Amino acid sequence: MKLDDNKRDREKYPWWKRGVFYQIYPRSYKDSNGDGVGDLPGIESVLGYLNNGTEKSLGIDAIWFSPFFTSPDRDYGYDVSDYCAIDPRYGTLDDFKALLKSAHERNIRVLLDLVVNHSSDQHPWFVESRSSRNNPRRDWYIWKDGRQPGNKPPNNWRNHFFGSAWTWDEKTEQYYLHSFLKEQPDLNWHNSQVREAIADVIKYWLDLGVDGFRLDVPHVYCKDKQFRNNPPFYSLNRNIDFSLFKDRSFMSNLLKLLALPELQFKKYNQHQSETHSVLRGFRKVLDSYQDKVSVGEIIADSLPVIVSYYGRENDQLHMNFYFELLHCRWKAHAFRRCIQRWENALPEEAWPVYTFSNHDVNRAFSRYDQRGRGDKRARMLALMLLTLRGTPFIYYGEEIGMKEGLIQREQLKDPLGIKWYPFHRGRDGCRTPMQWDEGMFAGFSSHQPWLPLSPEHEIRNVRVQDEQSESLLNFFRQLIWLRKKLPLIVEGDYQTYKGRLPSGCYIYLRQQGDKKIAVALNFGKRKKKLEQLFNAGSVKLLISTCPTREPGVIAFPFTLKGEEGCLLELSP
């Protein structure tokens, strides 16, 4: 390969397209000072687990950290009171610099969580803004008079956690807007000073060497300038793609159809066109540095709307999560269609991202753990995550099959769970401490952790699984390192296999030139016989989710076991 080809490939497939990402919820990863809360020095002490340059480590290329900035923790870090400071519970700025340096030495990039739709109500900007109607920062947030008669909230907008999106301020006698908790006032993105202040925050961290950002709810930034009322949930005027419904779980569909918890279609307080100009501005800042990246948490009922945040010629977000995949039913055709839809929706320059879990949803392991089948299914998810066309994001603990925590009412921390119990137990269950060993607090801390440990931590932990060659952890390691050796997994086209297949099976192909691999997945419980499928000279099994299956050349008919997935290499 000529030097020029190398450069062109690097540009076409920069590190964030090649890398495997890992999300850390810092409160729950590793506690170094025995207060039951995870911290930055703790994380630094276990970086070798994520990547020590050898196949004994996970081989992670980048970490996205959920927020560790100063915060009163009303929404556990997603209410920031100082965007440029580390909350003392997590450590100091020096601890962060040390962590960043160690990460970079291990070739691990670092992404921070940019939570700027709203700040904390304790942020000095909001403290000033609410101090008087003529404070210079008044317009940095969204203030409105009450509706008369009765001084009612200015319009019918509801926040995402339930209740009005407006809270009355006694002192200055106006309402302020908050899309989430009342302690999370929304910044006014129509104000150019706000845009500049946040651009400065971005530059501050980029100057320190951070590699990019995950953007919290960017689609909510700008609001309708006329503050029009949202239509009710049963309005026909909805831009919803109903074809998405057939592949989602029953519960996700129910919540969508009832538009819970807001009970209204958020027409005027999200997805406003001005937000695109904000994102273009962010992109310019990122592009004025080298090799920086952004990934957005855009949520919409229509794929073209999500795609629009990549921008024209990709001048907005580098990547966007695809949340449909987090709601998919355990059916071959549901996954097949769900992935194909995203592939079809993305223009060539838009790069996909896949994830199955995060700090807001039930852990994938438990979502699919019906009748104890979680272990097999977790391996199939891992295989998909690491072989689909796009950047994979692993959520901490996913690699050891951590289960959703069972949190009692009195132990709940998440404001959503506290509000909605017992209908919805909130998000604490997916935020329980990382399980390092079978010790008292799972090696996370020497002290009672801030949340209880999740079930089966005695076996679902790093130390135990490290020793078992057939563990989920070792399967993740093998897959990730295999991925690094097969550039085709990053660069190859994606195609759904269109030929006849036994029911319950889904096969996709990844192809680059004459190189081809196939991923064959059996979502059913029973074994399935695959007839000669591919027009290939020989087919080699590279890895199977079934630990007893030996790699090597295979012959057809080939029998996939129940809930087994295989990565196959096809040679001409």
Please report whether residue 103 would count as binding ligand NOJ according to CB under 6 A.
no
For residue 61, give the nearest of 3, 35, 22 by alpha carbon: 22
Beta carbon of residue 344, minimum distance to ligand NOJ (angstroms, whole number): 27
Binding to ligand NOJ in span 491-520, by CB under 6 A? none
Q: Cβ-closest residue to ligand NOJ?
A: 78
Please report whether residue 78 would count as binding ligand NOJ according to CB under 6 A.
yes
Token code pair at residue 7? 């450069």
**CB of 360 or CB of 437, closer to ligand NOJ:** 360
Distance between CA atoms of residues 110 and 44, nearest Å: 12
Containing 559, the helix (H) or strand (E) segment is strand 558-560
Token code pair at residue 308? 């629009």
Beta carbon of residue 181, minimum distance to ligand NOJ (angstroms, whole number): 8
Decide the pairing of beta strands 109-114 and 212-215. parallel
Beta carbon of residue 551, minimum distance to ligand NOJ (angstroms, whole number): 39
**CB of 72 or CB of 209, closer to ligand NOJ:** 72
Q: Would you give the binding string for ligand NOJ spanning residues 188-227, x where CB under 6 A is met?
A: ----------------------------xx----------
Q: Name the 3-class secondary structure at 286.
A: helix
Distance between CA atoms of residues 534 and 556, nearest Å: 10
Partners of 152 in beta bridges:
147
State the burial class of residue 335 (Cβ atoms within 10 Å of its Cβ: 0-12, 13-18, 19+). buried
**CB of 40 or CB of 416, closer to ligand NOJ:** 416
Decide the pairing of beta strands 528-530 and 558-560. antiparallel
Q: Select the residue interacting with ligand NOJ from 73, 75, 324, 428 (CB under 6 A).
A: 75
For residue 387, give the nearest of 450, 463, 475, 318 by alpha carbon: 475
Q: How far is CA 358 from CA 162, 224, 316, 397, in A?
A: 21, 30, 23, 10
Beta carbon of residue 161, minimum distance to ligand NOJ (angstroms, whole number): 8
Catalytic, 200? Answer no
Q: Which of 87, 216, 399, 569 is catalytic?
A: 216
Q: Which of 247, 297, 404, 414 is catalytic?
A: 297
CA 304 to the chain's CA centroid: 19
**CB of 115 or CB of 385, closer to ligand NOJ:** 115
Please report whether residue 63 would count as binding ligand NOJ according to CB under 6 A.
no
Beta carbon of residue 32, minimum distance to ligand NOJ (angstroms, whole number): 24
239, 306 in Cβ contact below 8 A? no
**CB of 166 or CB of 506, closer to ligand NOJ:** 166
Please report whether residue 334 would count as binding ligand NOJ according to CB under 6 A.
no
Q: Name the 3-class secondary structure at 148.
A: coil
Beta carbon of residue 359, minimum distance to ligand NOJ (angstroms, whole number): 6
For residue 215, give the nearest of 293, 120, 134, 312 by alpha carbon: 293
Beta carbon of residue 27, minimum distance to ligand NOJ (angstroms, whole number): 12
Beta carbon of residue 253, minimum distance to ligand NOJ (angstroms, whole number): 21
Distance between CA atoms of residues 413 and 429, nearest Å: 10
For residue 216, give the nearest of 235, 196, 201, 231 by alpha carbon: 201
Q: Select the residue interacting with ligand NOJ from 83, 180, 476, 506 (CB under 6 A).
A: 180
Beta carbon of residue 449, minimum distance to ligand NOJ (angstroms, whole number): 19
**CB of 185 or CB of 374, closer to ligand NOJ:** 185
With tokens 């440029």, the residue in question is 84
**CB of 247 or CB of 297, closer to ligand NOJ:** 297
Please report whether residue 115 would count as binding ligand NOJ according to CB under 6 A.
yes
166, 144 in Cβ contact below 8 A? yes
Q: What is the DSSP string of 7-75?
A: HHHHHHS-HHHH--EEEE-GGGT--SSSSSS--HHHHHHTHHHH-SSSTTS----EEEEPP-EE---TT
**CB of 37 or CB of 543, closer to ligand NOJ:** 37
For residue 109, give the nearest of 210, 248, 255 by alpha carbon: 210
Count the residues of the shown chain that bind ligand NOJ, applying the rule CB under 6 A: 9
Catalytic, 458? Answer no
Phi, psi for 452 (deg, rounded to 5)? -65, 160
Please report whether residue 360 would count as binding ligand NOJ according to CB under 6 A.
yes
Token code pair at residue 244? 């998405």
- Number of H-type helices and E-type strands within the chain: 17, 21
Q: Where are the beta strands (DSSP E) in 125-259?
A: 143-144, 166-169, 174-177, 212-215
Beta carbon of residue 346, minimum distance to ligand NOJ (angstroms, whole number): 22
For residue 311, give the nearest of 353, 347, 267 by alpha carbon: 347
Beta carbon of residue 369, minimum distance to ligand NOJ (angstroms, whole number): 23
Residues with catalytic function: 216, 297
For ligand NOJ, the binding residues (CB under 6 A) are: 75, 78, 115, 180, 216-217, 297, 359-360
